[in-house]
Chains A and B, each alone.
Chain A
Amino acid sequence: MSSVRPAPPSPASSAPPRARPRPRRLGPGDRVFLAVLIGIPLIALLVFVWLPALASVGLSFTSWDGIALSDIHWTGLGNYQEIFTNYPPFWPAVRHNVVWLLFTALLPTPFGIFLAYQLDRKIRFTRIYQTAIFLPMVLSLAVVGFIWEIIYNPDNGLLNGVLNGVAPGHHIDWLGDPDLNLWAVLVASAWRHTGYIMILYLAGLKGFDPALKEAAALDGANGRQTFLRVVFPALKPVNIIILVVTVMESLRAFDIVYVLGGGVGSKPGMELLSLLITDNIIGESSHIGYGSALAVVLLLVSLAAIGTFLFQNFRKEDQ
């Protein structure tokens, strides 16, 4: 296998430095143009992203019911202390987020890659399969929730109907049983996620240089070896995207749980950090400070996960 391992140097990284120095002066028109070009997105970013984020961090040290500004009271780290020591759904939510991440990373993501690899092999009706697998991602979430509610309905749902045919008398409460409902929702989520990963990976595979595969075949590599040792390492940029997407989707998982939980916030067995945030912020008697503290916790976890990964990757690439 030694002949295939070192990837050929890519043309981009070995390109010679530009000979011609860049023009240094910009005309006044160019300056205005650039200022506007950079300024507007920058202001939008500051106002719509950074300001709310920083305000959330600030509010997380206060207690506020969200009504009169004069009611904001400074509580220091009180909210955080409450959350970590005296908030029953918090640790289950953390556990469920971890389960979500592991499940998504270990089952639907590899399965999506597997499907993409199979579909790339020019089998018949590949377009139809692609469309069918990607379809869940196209459907609006309300529809997805509705579909799975019908499947999981305890009385006249598809699953219990089939179960009753095979073994009568069994009555499984898929979405109501706190030990079961997280897995039921994870299956629904995997159904969407697989299609997403498949389309991302398929896009990568379409741009893959077939010469590498041919070389591997000439060297006598079988299909599995070709994929694991040639294709997969060569598609590193796509792999990174998929990993980041998987991690982010797992940490911010919200919509499908919210819809299948009936749209009323967290339910026993299905608590997630994102749902706890809305539990505390949306509604009649909101606890903005408390919810913000939860949001900050989720922000830190997300930053840590994504930051570590990206940092390591870019450092490797620089070398």
Chain B
Amino acid sequence: MTLSRTPSPASGPGRRGVVRGALGIGAAALAAPVLTACGGGPSADPKTVTFGSNGADATPKSAYAAVTSAFTKESGLTVKTNTVDHDTFQKSISTYLQGTPDDVFTWFAGYRMQYFAKKGLAHPVDDVWEKIGAGFSDAAKQLSRGLDGKYYFVPLYNYPWAVFYRKSLFQERGYEEPRTWSEFTALAKRMKKDGLSPIASGYGGGDSWSILGAFDYLNLRANGYDFHMSLMRGEVAWTDPRTVRTLDLWRELSPYYQQGAGGRSWQDAAQSLLDKKSGMAVIGLFLGQQITDEKLREDIDFFAFPEIDPSFGQDTVEAPTDGFMLSRRPKNLDAANRLLEFLGSAKAENLYMGVDPSNVAVNSQADTGSYNALQKKSAELIAEAKHITQFGDRDSDPGFISTVVLPGLTQWLGHPDDGSALLKTIESQRSRFFTA
């Protein structure tokens, strides 16, 4: 017990003063958040509308800036943009919407929009749709309505998921775009023999969502749109034999996946496709954001995910749609409606696509003349689709997908078996997410 145990001697006259001072600082520190909370609220300036954006990357950020400054020029209203990192925005969305959200905010179509509409955290935008409705297809309108039939969403752009490849690689090796499942697997087998990783894959770290593209397409092609959507909405059991079949098909494909995928980012996987180390990639058009050399962009092409069951063909395209919503109590409703109206116009979409060419405008009146080849082909693919799905984590409860389905699927993909244990695990959690 030699460690200093003796009480320290009193430090003399100044002690109380020091304590008092420290106390004052402590009290001030405690009071500070309260005070700022009282004084810091934004005032409802009739000339200002606030806009919460998740486009924190350089390209979308400058694209949104171009759109909002054009709106300011046209209407004389100022837009105060509040940009938050994409993942943080999603994670804190419930708290954000319950606190003091911005008037207009970026969000996703489908189940995730409907969830907040149902919870009363969003304001309907039917007035806006009366003015912009003419520019949108029925599929786009369908995507923008809540479960109560009202509009809650104004779409801006979407992008298709497909199987991407490099044209020059296919030419060099004499590969051909497969149309059916057997052609697809045969091509993958051939690529493997040629020393390539047939299917680029990276679902490490925070990128496990990227495997859902393959899952969705396999399920859509094998079991059709209706079954897929019921499965996503938690209306059918995951142990259904049709889901088992989807996993069987996936298992057939898994030997052709790039090795070490569980620790790789999707960007690195995409890079291996660009470097011709991988032959194909099931990915979205956002792959284009990885490309810095315009020549390389011209060498990229894609084909629709191959047909599995001829009765469903290739009728569905997975095309996640991003757009805007109105918060439940906008401080400046008129200005917010005018901003949404502008955002839904062909003009705003042209401005946005002008800066960010890795998406396709949803408004059918938008100018497609400046599209690059990939965008044109994407727009055609989406326009021809009979059904449009959003994406696994947008068509379903995102918590269910991220905490149950994705951990299960990634683990299974490491050692694919018949999947019965996996499906039983997923099924055991389904009721927890889909009863409320």
CA A41 – CA B3 in complex, angstroms? Answer: 29
Contact B2 A267 (CB under 8 A): no
- Contact partner of A176 (CB less than 8 A), chosen from B91, B206, B260, is B260
Contact B414 A178 (CB under 8 A): yes
Q: Which of A149, A154, A177, A284: most chain B CB closer than 10 A?
A: A284
- The segment out of A64-72, A122-130, A245-253 that lies at the interface is A64-72
Q: Say what secondary structure dominates the interface of chain B.
A: helix
Rounded to whole Å, the gap between the CB of B197 and the closest CB of chain A is 11
Residues from chain B with Cβ under 8 Å of A309 in the complex? none
Contact B207 A10 (CB under 8 A): no
Contact A268 B410 (CB under 8 A): yes
CA A120 – CA B16 in complex, angstroms? Answer: 38
Contact A7 B206 (CB under 8 A): no
Could you give, for residues 397-416 of chain B, a 1 whenever the CB lies within 8 Å of some chain A CB and a 0 otherwise? Answer: 11110110001101100100
Asked if A161 CB lies within 8 Å of chain B CBs, one says: no
Asked if B425 CB lies within 8 Å of chain A CBs, one says: yes
CA A297 – CA B141 in complex, angstroms? Answer: 46
- Contact partner of B397 (CB less than 8 A), chosen from A87, A234, A237, A285, is A285
Contact A264 B399 (CB under 8 A): no
Residues from chain B with Cβ under 8 Å of A36 in the complex? 23
Chain B's closest residue to A30 (CB) is B16
User: Given that A37-B19, A171-B259, A173-B260 are known contacts, is A12 also in contact with B399, CB under 8 Å in the complex?
Assistant: no
Rounded to whole Å, the gap between the CB of A141 and the closest CB of chain B is 15
Asked if A235 CB lies within 8 Å of chain B CBs, one says: yes
Residues from chain B with Cβ under 8 Å of A212 in the complex? 2
- Contact partner of A208 (CB less than 8 A), chosen from B2, B90, B399, B436, is B2
Residues from chain B with Cβ under 8 Å of A66 in the complex? 94
Residues from chain A with Cβ under 8 Å of B2 in the complex? 7-8, 10, 207-209, 212, 234
Contact A238 B3 (CB under 8 A): yes
User: Given that A177-B262, A286-B94 are known contacts, is A207 also in contact with B3, CB under 8 Å in the complex?
Assistant: yes
Asked if B255 CB lies within 8 Å of chain A CBs, one says: no
Asked if A175 CB lies within 8 Å of chain B CBs, one says: yes
Which range holds the interface residue count of chain B?
35 or more
Residues from chain B with Cβ under 8 Å of A260 in the complex? 205
CA A289 – CA B315 in complex, angstroms? Answer: 41
Chain B's closest residue to A160 (CB) is B260
Asked if A139 CB lies within 8 Å of chain B CBs, one says: no
Residues from chain B with Cβ under 8 Å of A171 in the complex? 259-260
Asked if A262 CB lies within 8 Å of chain B CBs, one says: yes
Rounded to whole Å, the gap between the CB of B416 and the closest CB of chain A is 13
Residues from chain B with Cβ under 8 Å of A265 in the complex? 402-403
15 contacts between A and B (CB under 8 A): A11-B6, A12-B5, A40-B23, A63-B436, A65-B436, A66-B94, A67-B121, A173-B263, A175-B263, A176-B203, A261-B206, A263-B205, A267-B208, A284-B398, A287-B399
A-B contact sample (19 more), CB < 8 A, given A10-B1, A154-B263: A10-B2, A37-B19, A67-B94, A88-B428, A154-B264, A172-B260, A173-B263, A176-B204, A177-B263, A178-B262, A178-B414, A234-B1, A234-B2, A262-B206, A266-B403, A267-B208, A282-B92, A284-B398, A290-B432
Please provide the 10 A-B residue pairs with the shortest distance between their CB atoms, ordered closest to farther: A176-B262, A262-B205, A262-B206, A154-B260, A176-B263, A10-B1, A268-B411, A285-B399, A12-B5, A175-B263
